[in-house]
Structure 1
């Protein structure tokens, strides 16, 4: 089975070009390369919108429609809503019992968000614990890769530490070493010899490549049970069984989509173009964008690097058009309205098929709900397996 990728977004309503270029275009590629789980993080929305919950439900469906409209394919990826899978909350609770408070307080975004959202009271238990809920989101599906930007790597590293701590506490089953050695004998002589060499290289010499090669070897074994595979992986790494695998950060390119004012495109800056923006509105927004302040008159030369419109050309225009902009702006050979026309044309061309698909989904809300219901059912089966194992190793099975 291909590696599992997990990614989610807070429901903020209809999405804009920043979401499309910053996240969704990456999802469109990932869905063909991995087993992808994409989820609506509605519980995470509550950490900052706990006083304004009425907007969340509509925001959820608006966001899912936009996912489908850009081409996220439920035949390739699994889409679901976080709160429809209560195992997220149970694992979050169980992990909270052993997670040090200091680990949560040191997450960079914890203080950053409190600073940015001063108008909201974020001195809450839920907000402090949201990085742990993110970890539970990942670990409940044993996701091997999590697509993130550089600013989110700390969250994945926290998840790795939490998994490591959990495995250390609860992966020490009775007679673990004997059972692991029994599992090695089941590998066959050739694989067993290679496994022992790789384990020695990693544990005695710290060769990380030996660890990854050993893990790949174990995953390919056909005649070994799932329980024995976990013992072999744990024995390879140390003396414990791997219950919650440590995920890896899958670094994604930094979003380059600027807003209409040159800042990052964001609803909070009121500088967005939504994926369902009317063509007339798109044209008006681009035509009224501010430009290089040096170009007061049509005959004044300008510098493209000082103009927010140039940032759009870097995304939407080919080399010929960009050269035309550079020469025409610096020589005052073209006016700002002329410069903006290729951008208007490119954005409208990009949005047309998205809006056509969105219209179909808006007219068939039951089909959208059916896609989500099916996704929730699928992922809940996977989450239930993890929770059953977690309860078992924690001694919470009372049969």
Structure 2
């Protein structure tokens, strides 16, 4: 019987603690996590703060990671993650993940890892093809980053996650995990590990929210994000300076909706209720877009509407965060308790993996019995 047939529905998701979380995180995963948490359809929900993986490209600045552990946890709690229903845990405090990563590295070739789109893009960015003197070894990625997909596979399989809610940019990572699961189960003739299913955001505009500057993706490193913890004044400044259509100079000029960050955000965040509440002259976004395309609708009006939509979302998140910020010792205990539960869960999987590999020497005394039998047989012979 396959492990997945056991019937348990388990979610694993998480974030790298390299900074506060932004609207891209919210629409890409956080909002869905809360919905799934409250649906009652899952037996177990685990949210991993991936500090180990964050160190792969921040090895020289561990303080950055440490400082953001609480920040990320506050973001989780402020959007509605309930520690009674979801386990929030810290990756580096789960030793089973490190052991599983090492075992899985033997199931993956360096050639396969180098074909992973995420790894390939980073290799290109860092000039892996040749160093300053034409020596590839001088320009290589840190081994930890190169094996990032293997580490992610360890995270997912350690919790025996059946569902992983992520953005579409993580599809290659999930496929790598599925390959490792199949290879392990076939190699050791045991259906120990579970092949996870990916859960993408239903709204396509939410799969990869662009930055406020119109770049393809909102990113902490690019500084083009609206953060969940931003105050009202900061959000206003960012929205009013958002990238729109450079050819829409005068209000009567025909405008382009495609590639216009304001309209992409409206597609992601606005519903019919928003129009009836804040902009009743339009019944829906489609009508507003048609007006903009014809001309006669200014960017400032569009941005003011977006600002109201975002404030409706962010105001309660802000208030909840302010409340949790007064209870940091409680936040710390939530992290410690969640990590303790996660350690027990992942150690169980590690034990099963070691048993399948027959390297559980001190749990299974058959190694002694085998030798005794061999010695006895030799003596008799």
> Which of the five TM-score ranges fits, normalised by the shorter chain?
0.7 to 0.9
1:321-355 residue CA offsets vs partner (Å, 9 max, x unmatched): 53563465356544322222111111111100000
Pick one of 247, 259, 262 that aligns with 2:211. Answer: 259
Q: Whole-Å Cα distance in 2 between the matches of residues 155 and 247 of structure 1?
A: 11
Q: Does 1:67 align with 2:85?
A: no
Residue aligned with 2:73, SS? helix
The residue aligned with 1:151 is: 169
Partner of 1:12: 18
What SS does structure 1 have at the residue aligned with 2:283? helix
Provide the C-alpha distance between the structure 2 equivalents of 1:323 and 1:160, rounded to a whole number of angstroms. Answer: 40
* Structure 2 runs not aligned, ≥5 long: 1-6, 129-137, 273-281, 364-381
Structure 1: state its 5+ residue gaps: 171-239
Shift of 1:28: 1.4
Instruction: Name the residue aligned to 2:199.
Output: 250
1:268 alignment partner, SS class:
coil
Contact 1:140–1:386 at 8 Å: present in 2 too? Answer: yes
Backbone CA RMSD of aligned residues: 2.5
Q: How far is the alpha carbon of 1:105 from its aligned partner?
A: 2.5
Change in CA separation of 1:333 and 1:363 when aligned onto 2, cut-off 3 Å: same
Could you say which residue in structure 1 is the equivalent of 2:124? 115
Say yes or no: does 1:166 pair with 2:129. Answer: no
The CA distance in 1 between the partners of 2:125 and 2:314, in whole Å, is: 31
Alpha-carbon offset, residue 82 of structure 1? 0.5
Cα distance, 1:366 vs structure 2:
1.0
Would the aligned equivalents of 1:327 and 1:333 in 2 still touch at CA under 8 Å?
Answer: no
Residue 18 (structure 1) shift = 0.8
CA contact (8 A) 1:6 1:146 kept: yes
Instruction: Verify the 8 A CA contact 1:79 1:371 in the aligned structure 2.
Output: yes
1:141 CA displacement: 1.8
The 10-residue stretch of structure 1 (86-95 or 113-122) with the greater mean CA deviation from structure 2:
113-122
Task: Find the counterpart in structure 1 of residue 236 from structure 2.
Answer: 283
Bigger drift between 286-295 and 60-69 goes to 286-295
Tell me by how many angstroms 1:397 deviates: 2.1
Kindly state the Cα deviation for residue 306 of structure 1 after the two structures are TM-superposed: 5.9
Q: TM-score, normalised by structure 2?
A: 0.79
- The equivalent of 2:278 in structure 1 is none
Please state how far the C-alpha of 1:386 moved relative to its aligned partner: 1.6
**CA deviation after TM superposition for structure 1 residue 117, in Å:** 4.9
**Change in CA separation of 1:378 and 1:328 when aligned onto 2, cut-off 3 Å:** same
Partner of 1:189: none
TM-score w.r.t. length of structure 1: 0.75
2:333 to 370, 377, 390: 370
In the TM superposition, what is the alpha-carbon distance from 1:275 to its structure 2 partner? 0.8
Q: What are the equivalent positions in structure 2 for 1:66-145 lying under 5 Å apart?
A: 66-117=75-126, 123-145=141-163
SS of the counterpart of 1:146? strand
> Are the aligned partners of 2:253 and 2:296 in contact in 1 as well (CA < 8 Å)?
no
Alpha-carbon contact 1:48-1:122 (below 8 Å) kept: no
Measure, in 2, the Cα distance between the counterparts of 1:293 and 1:345: 23
How many positions carry a matched residue from both structures?
330
Deviation digits for residues 356-377 of structure 1 (CA, Å, limit 9, x no counterpart): 1111111111111111111111
Aligned to 1:391: 354
Partner of 2:306: 343
